């Protein structure tokens, strides 16, 4: 192990002692700390630096394996770190785009507008294209220098710690720390490719262009590389500035309901949702305070579901809403989210135990986030299999609901979500779905018909392929029919010979002059008949 890694391990151990994190490994602290364990863990991760902050954010998306108090506390982690130098940012941009900064931009502010663990953002103005063009205002997102190596080193260290935890702590094995680190590694390395983020932003913009609910900034791909992203600068008010928005008279009820509508439409209508919707990535266009809309930024993490996961999720949500707990249990078994040997009645009863106390409240008071946490606790008893494809969705839903309740405490999530889910289910099962599918398939079918016709002609000419196999089958059938006819004739002749032999035997001694030698003839005829009959029957 390198000296650098040993130093990092020593730092981790020192921070863990300071925040009494030995409790997580069954060790009593030397000095009791009155603060809740979740808060102490969050503060420790913040002190250990941006990579561990990212890990904490990833852990906060796993309420299925973490206790609720820790999952909720880790969701409060804020990704704020000191910036790196503006001169260094300029050098990175110039190297990536192959030109001096003054040839690329009319203006470039070396003081960063915002700084995070992976990258920081600078404001700039593109070169004008005409005398009347003042130049487009943009933001330039630049990856931190050497961040890929830093992340790689810390991820490898996390794997080492995860292995030690799984080997020496039984309770840690249930949480599966190595699997969590692997999940985190995938997410964080995806964020290192800004071309990927640019593609995500372009897709979301295309899905919602012209909508009054949300706006996504345009991407300038000519200025974008793996470590540099240039995007339209947006003008909005951070969702964190609630007092400012409240003072302007912004309608928080509309804003809260629109947030829920955006989430469910991204998930079910588009199957492409922004999966990092924490307050730092959400702004408000308050130009019309009675009809406010959202502006989204930072598209490094997005999510998609398979068609079957979409359907199962929609059916689960609707079944929960209708208190059809048996259907919920059936869906979990059908989708293999719980083991196939699980007794349906037991799982249904456990779900009812969780849901009924919640549904005694008015719908506007039901927290879907708390409901999910309790459901995961129950599902763990039945060896619930974690669904990686749903982890980002769960995290995003928790963020959206938390934000919505903060904006408008009486927010009725179900009132907004249920019509969207029902409309989606109708579109999936109705005739329009069939016609839309046919409309998509017809061009491909029409394009393939000439090729299919050519293939059939070649098959006729060669006598192989589908037509060749058909003709071979017909010929085989004819051969079998001919053989069957021969066997039938043999059977009939054999039977006739046997009957003749029987008659000769019966007349033996009655009219010897007419039937001389009958005994010998009957034996010969009978033997020949039996032989013919036997061979035909064997065939």
pLDDT at site 488: 72
Give the C-alpha separation, 367 to 354, whole Å: 13
What average pLDDT does this structure show over 177-201? 84
At residue 377, the pLDDT reads: 66
Which tens digits make up the pLDDT trace of 208-258? 999 999 999 999 999 999 999 999 999 999 988 989 999 999 999 999 889
Q: What is the DSSP letter of 78?
A: -
Q: Residue 35 gets which letter from DSSP?
A: S
Check residue 446 and give its pLDDT: 67
* b (16+ CB within 10 A) / e for 419-448: ebbeebeeeeeeeeeeeeeeeeeeeeeeee
pLDDT value at position 151?
82
- CATH topology (fold) of 80-145+193-233: Phosphorylase Kinase; domain 1 (3.30.200)
What is the average pLDDT across 61-85?
72
Beta bridge partners of 114: 121
Higher pLDDT, 502 or 438: 502
Percent of the chain with pLDDT over 70: 73
Closest CA to 295 of 353, 348, 237: 237
Q: What is the pLDDT of residue 513?
A: 44
Both structure tokens of 298: 């930072």
DSSP string, 335-379: TTSS-TTS-HHHHHHHHHHHHHHHHTS-GGG--HHHHHHHHHHHH
CB 37 within 8 A of CB 16: no
> What mean pLDDT is predicted for residues 61-74?
70
Cα-based torsion angle of the residue sequence 338, 343, 345, 350 in order, rounded to the nearest 10 degrees: -50
Binned at pLDDT 50, 70 and 90, residue 2 comes out as low
Closest among 392, 389, 420, 385 to 306, alpha carbons compared: 389
Task: Specify the pTM.
Answer: 0.68
The DSSP secondary structure of 213-279, one letter per residue, reads: SEE---B-GGG--SSEEEEEPP--EETT-HHHHHHHT--HHHHHHHHHHHHHIIIIIIS-EES---G
Quick check: 189 pLDDT over 80?
Answer: yes
Q: Is 276 an annotated catalytic residue?
A: yes
Mean pLDDT, rounded, of the chain = 79
pLDDT at 90: 95
Q: Return the structure tokens found at 276.
A: 């990092």
**Catalytically annotated residue among 276, 324, 441, 508:** 276
Give the pair of three-digit tokens for residue 384: 């619930």
- Please tell me the predicted confidence (pLDDT) of residue 514: 45
Higher pLDDT, 180 or 522: 180
> Which of 197, 150, 167 lies closest to 54, judged by CA?
150
Q: What 3-state DSSP class applies to 143? A: strand
Q: Residue 126's pLDDT is what? A: 93
Span 108-124, average pLDDT: 91
pLDDT above 90 covers what percent of the chain?
A: 24
What residue segments make up the domains of the chain, in order of their start?
A: 3-78+149-190, 80-145+193-233, 238-429, 431-457, 465-538
Please compute the mean of the pLDDT values over residues 142-147 and round it to a whole number: 90
Find out whether 251 and 292 touch, Cβ atoms under 8 Å. yes
Name the residue with higher pLDDT: 480 or 242. 242
pLDDT of residue 511: 47
Q: pLDDT tens digit string along 318-374? A: 888 788 888 888 888 887 777 778 888 888 898 888 778 776 666 566 666 666 666
CB burial class (10 A; 0-12, 13-18, 19+) of residue 376?
buried
pLDDT the model gives residue 17: 85
Distance separating alpha carbons of residues 177 and 161, to the nearest angstrom = 9
The answer for residues whose C-beta is within 8 angstroms of residue 514's C-beta and 6 or more apart is none
Q: Which two tokens stand for residue 378?
A: 């129950």
| Pairwise pLDDT comparison (293 vs 29), residue with the higher score | 293
pLDDT top residue among 174 and 478:
478
Residue owning tokens 């009959």: 533
């Amino acid at each position: 192990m390198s000296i650098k890694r040993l130093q990092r391990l020593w730092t981790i151990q020192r921070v863990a002692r300071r925040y009494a994190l030995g409790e997580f490994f069954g060790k009593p602290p030397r000095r009791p700390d009155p603060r809740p364990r979740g808060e102490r863990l969050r503060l420790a991760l913040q002190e250990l630096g941006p990579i561990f902050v990212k890990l904490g954010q990833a852990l906060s998306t796993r309420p299925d394996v973490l206790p609720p108090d820790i999952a909720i506390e880790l969701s409060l982690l804020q990704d704020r770190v000191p910036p790196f130098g503006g001169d260094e940012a300029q050098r990175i941009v110039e190297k990536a785009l192959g030109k001096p900064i003054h040839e690329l931009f009319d203006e470039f502010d070396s003081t960063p507008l915002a700084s995070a663990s992976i990258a920081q953002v600078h404001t700039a103005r593109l070169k004008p294209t005409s005398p009347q063009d003042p130049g487009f205002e943009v933001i330039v997102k630049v990856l931190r220098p050497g961040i890929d190596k830093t992340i790689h080193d810390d991820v490898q260290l996390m794997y080492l710690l995860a292995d030690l935890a799984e080997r020496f702590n039984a309770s840690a094995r249930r949480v599966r720390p190595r699997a969590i680190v692997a999940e985190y590694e995938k997410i964080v390395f995806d964020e290192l490719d800004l071309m990927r983020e640019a593609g995500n932003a372009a897709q979301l913009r295309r899905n919602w262009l012209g909508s009054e609910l949300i706006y996504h900034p345009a991407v300038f791909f000519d200025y974008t590389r793996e470590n540099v992203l240039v995007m339209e600068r947006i003008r909005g008010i951070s969702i964190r500035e609630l007092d400012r928005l409240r003072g302007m008279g912004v309608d928080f009820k509309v804003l809260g309901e629109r947030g829920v509508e955006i989430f469910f439409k991204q998930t079910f209508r588009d199957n492409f949702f922004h999966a990092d919707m924490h307050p730092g990535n959400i702004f408000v266009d308050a130009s019309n305070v009675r009809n406010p809309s959202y502006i989204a930024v930072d598209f490094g993490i997005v999510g998609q579901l398979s068609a079957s996961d979409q359907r199962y999720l929609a059916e689960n949500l609707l079944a929960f809403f209708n208190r059809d707990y048996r259907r919920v249990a059936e869906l979990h078994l059908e989708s293999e989210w719980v083991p196939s040997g699980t007794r349906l009645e037991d799982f249904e009863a456990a779900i009812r135990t969780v849901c009924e106390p919640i549904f005694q409240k008015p719908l506007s008071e039901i927290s879907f986030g708390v409901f999910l946490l309790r459901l995961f606790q129950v599902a763990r008893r039945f060896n619930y299999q974690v669904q990686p494809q749903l982890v980002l969705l769960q995290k995003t839903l928790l963020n959206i609901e938390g934000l919505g309740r903060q904006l408008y405490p009486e927010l009725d999530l179900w009132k907004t979500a249920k019509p969207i889910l029902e409309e989606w289910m109708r579109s999936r099962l109705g005739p329009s779905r069939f016609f839309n599918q046919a409309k998509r398939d017809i061009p491909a079918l029409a394009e393939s018909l000439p090729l299919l016709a050519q293939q059939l002609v070649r098959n006729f000419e060669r006598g192989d392929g589908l037509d060749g196999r058909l003709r071979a089958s017909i010929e085989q059938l004819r051969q079998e029919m001919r053989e069957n006819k021969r066997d039938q004739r043999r059977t009939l002749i054999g039977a006739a010979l046997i009957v003749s032999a029987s008659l000769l035997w019966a007349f033996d001694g009655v009219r010897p002059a007419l039937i001389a030698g009958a005994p010998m003839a009957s034996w010969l005829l009978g033997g020949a008949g039996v032989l013919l009959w036997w061979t035909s029957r064997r065939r």
